[in-house]
Amino acid sequence: MSAITAPPSRLPRRALSLVPGLVLLVAIGLFGKYAEAGLLALGKATGTKLPDIEYVLWAILLGALISNTVGVPRIFRAGVGTYEFWLKSGIVLLGARFVLGDVVKLGGTGLVLVLIDVSIATTVVLLLAKWLKLGGKLASLLAIGTAICGVSAIIAGRGAIDADEEDSGYAIAAILALGAIALFTFPLIGHGLGLSDQEYGYWAGLAVDNTAETTAAGGLYSPQAQDVAVLVKSIRNALIGFVVLGFASYWATRGQATAVGKGFLPKAAFVWEKFPKFVLGFLAVSALATAGAFTKVDVTSLGNLSKWAFLLTFAGVGLNFDLRRMRQSGFRPFLVGALALAVVTVTALAEVLIASRVIGL
């Protein structure tokens, strides 16, 4: 069989390999929905004030329980690995709930706050890493992951700075552990401080590392907070090419990474290669919504599809949370990330509160 006709024959096999994992994601997501509804119904029937635990948290907890007890068998892994696709699809569909005017208004303020936040996060991580004597490339990966978009940024940075697998593994483990901590603590802190949906959404979008955890942390607060958190996080994600370019150029000057071509066009091509394309999808759907391409029924339907996509995402987040891998990374990368997260959390919150009081959000 020729190389031209081979791919179509492999396609059905590839699609079939995804089915078990997709079924598992759906099952865990539905468990989360039914657990949330069941607990509320039980409280109402018994007259007991039970906690309102969102389906987001149920799905993540069940996924994490499976991952850290029986584990995820090989037959499920291909389908479970699609959770990032569902995350990006959910964000694109979420664009239907924003007109471009809202994107520009929220995005303008968000961009200023993001630039401040990225500068602080990068500086803090590099200083802490130097203090704890971490390797330079591991420090770079932690800075990229903390400042921009967690695991995706680390993967993008790994190849650009020629980091080894061990360093990227340590950085990813630390970022995932810290994302889990942020996911559980941010909603509690937000409610404790009485943050508005808008304020909390800005804060989560600025301070939580991974896009999946940002989306989940927003959803645990309110649908409105989730919308704002996703938009602000998308602005952070859009800067990934520029930040990775900066680190790649630095390591190239030291002869420890492949040099980026000189001139505007090679650098622009590098940034475009790293740019998260789903952000453009979000803007395209938002542009269609602004142009009136969707009826109210369409917007509702697209919003429901977005929720289903996020449901699969949250199940995947739990199934990919592996405590054993995080223990293997040692305490120093985690300590650097934890201290950086604490600093960024406080400074981002201060930024949001000042912006809220001075210009209104």
Whether 87 contacts 340, CB under 8 Å: no
Please give the pLDDT value at position 93: 92
Whether the predicted pLDDT of 329 surpasses 70: no
**What average pLDDT does range 229-233 have in this prediction?**
91
Residue 1 has pLDDT above 50, yes or no: no
Give residue for tokens 């901590």: 181
What is the number of other CB atoms lying within 10 angstroms of the CB of residue 277? 9
Percent of the chain with pLDDT over 70: 94
Query: pLDDT tens-digit profile of 63-93?
Result: 999 999 999 999 999 999 999 899 999 999 9
**pLDDT tens digit string along 273-324?**
888 888 899 999 999 999 989 998 998 999 889 989 998 999 998 898 877 7
pTM tops 0.85, yes or no: no
| Dihedral of the alpha carbons of 340, 343, 344, 345, in degrees to the nearest 10 | 120
CA–CA separation, 208 and 205 (whole Å): 6
Residue 4 binned pLDDT confidence (cut-offs 50, 70, 90): very low
Other C-beta atoms closer than 10 Å to the C-beta of 173 total 23
Digit-coded pLDDT (tens) for 253-273: 888 777 777 778 888 888 888
Tell me which range, 10-19, 163-172, 197-206, is most confidently predicted by mean pLDDT: 197-206
How many angstroms separate the CA atoms of 218 and 225, rounded? 5
Q: Which two tokens stand for residue 284?
A: 């395209």
pLDDT band at 30 (very low <50, low <70, confident <90, very high): very high
Report the pLDDT averaged over residues 325-354. 83
Convert the pLDDT of each residue in 181-194 to its tens digit: 888 899 999 999 99
Q: If you average pLDDT over residues 340-352, what whole number do you get?
A: 90
Both structure tokens of 240? 């990934």
Mean pLDDT rounded to a whole number for the chain: 86
Residues 6+ apart with CB under 8 A from 323: 68
* Out of 42-56, 139-153, 221-235, 286-300, least confident range: 42-56
Report how far residue 7's alpha carbon sits from residue 38's, in angstroms, rounded to the nearest whole number. 46
Let me know: does 220 contact 53? Beta carbons within 8 Å.
no
Q: Considering just the CA atoms, what is the radius of gyration of the chain in Å?
A: 21
Residues 1, 10: contact at Cβ < 8 Å?
no
pLDDT at 200 over 50: yes
Question: What does the pLDDT read at residue 361?
Answer: 64
> Is-contact 55 32, C-beta < 8 A?
yes
Joined together, the tokens standing for residue 266 give: 């090679």
More confident of the two residues 107 and 207: 207
pLDDT tier at 8, thresholds 50, 70, 90: low
pLDDT at 2: 42
